[in-house]
Amino acid sequence: MTTAPTIELNNGIAMPLIGLGTYPLDDRQVAETVVVATAVGYRLIDTAAKYGNESGVGDGIRACGVPRGELFVTTKLDGGYQGADRAIPGLDASLGRLRMDCVDLLLIHWPLPWRGLYVDTWATFEKILASGKARAIGVSNFLPAHLEILAARSGIVPAVNQIELNPAVARVAVRAYDDDHGIVTQSWSPLGRGDLLTDPAVTTIADRLGRSPGQVVLRWHVQHGLSAIPKSANPSRLAENIAVFDLELTARRGRGQELGDRGSLSSGGCSGPVRLPGRTLQGRGSSGPLGAPIEWTPLGARINLPGADNRRGRGTGEALVNQLSRAGEDDPRRHRGCRAGVRGWLAGFGWARVSVRAGVSRGRACRACRDGRRSDPRGCRCRSAGSMRPRSGSAR
């Protein structure tokens, strides 16, 4: 049995480097998976109110035979629990489903900045921390702009920022900010969305080391000081994913560490630079360099991309992305309805690729999407003549 080493959070609590992601398992599946995972060494279990499987996580923890004090349990509260101290009854409901007195880590699931409630929600999280119902508090899917606002208006630095992160989606700027401010970066979807494990850069290293591609990618996270929560319900894959502490990705002469980040994998590659305040990232695209400056604010980014006149809906032209985390809970990268979803696509997070089909700029936003009241715009049917079709799947 392999047990993951721990990393110390900024409040002194130890968190395992590798844990079990539980989305999208249901209660029955997750209960069985938790039992198997703890038997092969997992001690970090990640869930969320939105996943609908907290009861199953609790069942699995009680059935696994591992003392509660040896486990690290994370849950997250989504947009329905933001503002007006809603997180307090929200956590109480989660604790009831988990059948626990406290969680080890409580996260704000998405910032949802257009609602303007995440700072108020963080103040509620500080109360929860003081009450002892959470041993540590943090955030998920936050950008540096959101974290800067928290820092200016609150007294506690988040212990963790959980974001989508892997060698193909390296999030260099977010990681750098987290490191500079004592925040542990935790990776969800650490193995990518399928094609990463068949990438020649990964498989070549895996063949040389005699390990699986998944182990190579997870070792990349470990060597970058990242915590990762891969998801699997397969017993052999669960054991494989945690057995990454006895291998090493070595340096290549003149080229840095094997499997470097910022799009160094052969699939997708890199295009031109995207500039953020004080940093330069490498954007990813399939049609040549973007070569475009990006101006960031806490609520948006302005990107000037080459292309036709976007006012006529004929190309990518000038794009205004005015709500950075609109890709948050809803992920408008797959939203095929209103213009609000298209404009809200997260062009940041270290990447910049805008693909707009004819007529998108003329599409109408339904009121629910425009006001941020729709819980899942992927099901939106509001009127639009076009859609945005990204290369990758939806955010979790």
Residues recognised as catalytic: 51
Residue 177 Cα distances to 18, 180, 190, 191, angstroms: 21, 5, 19, 22
Tokens describing residue 301: 């980014």
Strand 300-304 vs strand 318-321: parallel, antiparallel, or unpaired? antiparallel
* CA distances for 306 relative to 303, 337, 345, 349, angstroms: 10, 24, 18, 21
Sign of CA dihedral 124, 376, 141, 212: positive
Angle, alpha carbons 186-173-335 (nearest 5°)? 75
Q: Report the half-sphere exposure of 392 (CA within 13 A, side-chain side).
A: 24
**Helix and strand counts by DSSP (H, E) for the chain:** 11, 17
Triad 250, 234, 20: Cα angle to 5°: 65
Q: How far apart are CA 41 and CA 27, in angstroms?
A: 21
Q: CA 358, CA 373: separation in Å to the nearest integer?
A: 27
Three-state DSSP class for residue 312: helix
CA–CA distance, 339 with 147 (Å, rounded to integer): 27
Distance of CA 380 to the CA centre of its chain: 23
Phi, psi of 332 (to 5 degrees): -65, 0
Element (H or E) spanning 120, and its range? helix 118-131
Instruction: Tell me the two tokens of residue 3.
Output: 């047990």
Asked if residue 167 has a cis previous peptide bond (ω within 30° of 0), the answer is: no
Q: Identity (one letter) of the amino acid at 111?
A: P
**Run of H or E residues at 14:** strand 14-16
Residue 247 bridge partners (DSSP): none
H or E segment at 94?
A: helix 87-98
